[in-house]
Amino acid sequence: MISQYSGISPTGDLLLLQKLGAKLRKKSFLHVNSTKAGGGVAEILQRMIPILNGLGINTRWEIIEGDDRFFDITKKIHNAMQGNPEKFTKDMWDHHYEINRMNAAKLDLDANAVLIHDPQPAPLIKFRKKGKWIWRCHIDVSNPVKEVCDHLMRYCSKYQAAVFSVARFARAMAIDEFIIPPSIDPLSDKNRDLTAEEINETMDRLKIPQDRPIILQVSRFDRFKDPVGVIEAYKTVRKYNDCILVLAGSPATDDPEGEIVLNEVREYAADDPDIHILLLPPFSDRDINAMQRAATVILQKSLKEGFGLTVSEAMWKAKPVIGGAVGGIPLQIVHGATGFLVHSVEGAAFRIRQFLNNPEMAWRMGEKGREYVRKNFLITRQTRDYLSIWYSLENKGRNILEL
Ligand code: UDP
């Protein structure tokens, strides 16, 4: 399994991964999150679980289930943790806890290491029996609503360690904190090489013309992804450059706001025939891959962002990228080298035009981007990091330099 990555991932990562795998072989590793499909967490877990099992680590992935009210509450927690003012009552927190209690009764939480992803299942820590429990925060917590953050931290501080994607997100917690940026899998259907026929077949099926430059953003329909801002930037660009815009996204089962935002976006695009808004079914990996490969410029104009996997996905395809200067996006886009960071609609429009008018510069940045992702954001590196943390927690206080 790991050998499939040789020649693609950095050799040092593969070596360390094998050594850590050998140390942790036969131990059990449990991941828990709240959706199988939609969004970056599910995207990574789908690919990482088989890799971990391939290393001989007994790895499981469990999903917590909840009612509509639970997901409304957790979306509000998510929004508040990313800085949006939201009103919370004791009753809401009680429901958050209660649903987790019911899940704990059903799930097998017994493992040597348990990685709990994001706020939705955070209260599960109350039901820990054994093992190292790590809370993995994927969202942008650079400026959270204090009361909401304080409440959530009552759970998170009970874990043995917390992991954030970006150093700026780390909180002053009494437990160990680690920084691990997410990653993409170069071998997945989302990122593997595609033939020109595969790309053309997909674009024809999706009815996206390829006779003009394509500006693309792939993301859940979420206001933090600023789809309306993308349309505004596109409208400015269209005054000078002929191009089309594609906004592609699918609903996540744990995101009840998707449909409302999609309607807003449709309304804003009105009936412009050159704006293609695609509602993709879950698991549209190959279609997304093809669109990213067919695109001329790729945007991730987020206003808040945990990491923004779509940025690395685009860079891996050697595409010129433009991203909001928030969350994990500046980790990936080295401004002026592997893409451009923007702070406004005007900035986005300016950079889109710059790429459209300078194909040679766009090509150069795209190539640099691909190498940057190879070194820093492939799944082998992230798996290595998770195992390093687990191994270090198991051997705390001991000299473990010698693997
Ligand atoms: N994605 C997808 N279908 C969609 C929209 C997004 O498969 O309709 C994928 C996208 O390619 C990326 C992930 O979901 O792999 C989104 O991760 P990101 O970190 O960009 O944002 P998140 O949704 O986690 O906030």
Question: 349-397 pLDDT, tens per residue?
Answer: 999 999 999 999 999 999 999 999 999 999 999 999 999 999 999 998 7
Phi-psi region at 195: left, alpha or beta (left = phi > 0; alpha = psi -120 to 50): beta
Q: Where in the chain do CATH 3.40.50.2000 domains reside?
A: 2-183+378-402, 196-376
The torsion angles phi and psi of 273, rounded to 5 degrees, stand at -70, -15
List, in sequence order, every residue forming a beta bridge with 338; answer none if it has no partner: none
Output the pLDDT for position 251: 67
The amino acid occupying position 133 is W
Which tokens hold the place of 121? 């299942």
pLDDT band, very low/low/confident/very high, at 31 (cuts 50, 70, 90): very high
Which tens digit of pLDDT belongs to each residue from 337-358?
Answer: 999 999 999 999 999 999 999 9
- Residue of minimum CA distance from atom 11 in ligand 1: 310
242-265 pLDDT, tens digit per residue, is: 999 999 998 667 788 888 999 999
pLDDT over 70 (residue 209): yes
Q: What is the pLDDT of residue 403?
A: 60
CB atoms within 10 A of CB 345: 19
Does residue 20 have a pLDDT over 90? Answer: yes
Percent of the chain scoring above 90 in pLDDT: 90
What is the identity of the amino acid at 181?
A: P
pLDDT band, very low/low/confident/very high, at 280 (cuts 50, 70, 90): very high
Say yes or no to pLDDT of 30 above 80. yes
Could you tell me the two tokens for 388? Answer: 């390093």
Q: Which residues fall within 8 angstroms of residue 122, CB to CB, at 6 or more apart? A: 100, 116, 135, 152, 155, 156
CA of 42 relative to ligand 1 center, distance in Å: 9
Map tokens 């099992």 to a residue: 53
Average pLDDT over residues 132-137: 98
pLDDT at 230 over 90: yes
| pTM for this predicted structure | 0.94
In ligand 1, the atom with minimum distance to the C-alpha of 310 is 20
Distances in whole angstroms, Cα of residue 330 to Cα of each of 4, 298, 307, 324, 379: 29, 15, 9, 8, 19
CA of 19 to the centre of ligand 1 (A): 31
pLDDT over threshold 80, residue 402: no
Ligand 1 centre to CA of 39 (Å) is 4
The fraction of the chain above a pLDDT of 70, given in percent, is 99
Residue written as tokens 């509602």? Answer: 279
Which is more confidently placed, 123 or 168?
A: 123
Strand partners of residue 135: 116, 162
Q: Which atom of ligand 1 is nearest to the CA of 138?
A: 24
Q: What is the whole-number distance in angstroms between the Cα of residue 107 and the centre of ligand 1?
A: 26
Distance in Å from the first CA to the final CA of the chain: 21
- What pLDDT does residue 338 have? 98
Radius of gyration of the chain (CA): 21
Which numeric CATH code is attached to 196-376? 3.40.50.2000
Q: Which atom of ligand 1 is nearest to the CA of 43?
A: 15
The reported pLDDT for the residue numbered 331 is 97
Residue 401 banded pLDDT, cuts 50, 70, 90? low
Residue 15 is predicted with a pLDDT of: 96
Query: 172 falls in which pLDDT band (50, 70, 90)?
Result: confident
- Separation of 129 CA from ligand 1 center, angstroms? 33
Give the helix ranges, DSSP H, for 120-249. 146-156, 196-205, 227-238
Domain range 2-183+378-402, CATH class: alpha beta
Lining ligand 1 with CB less than 6 A are: 39-40, 43, 190, 218-220, 248-250, 280, 284, 288, 306-310, 313
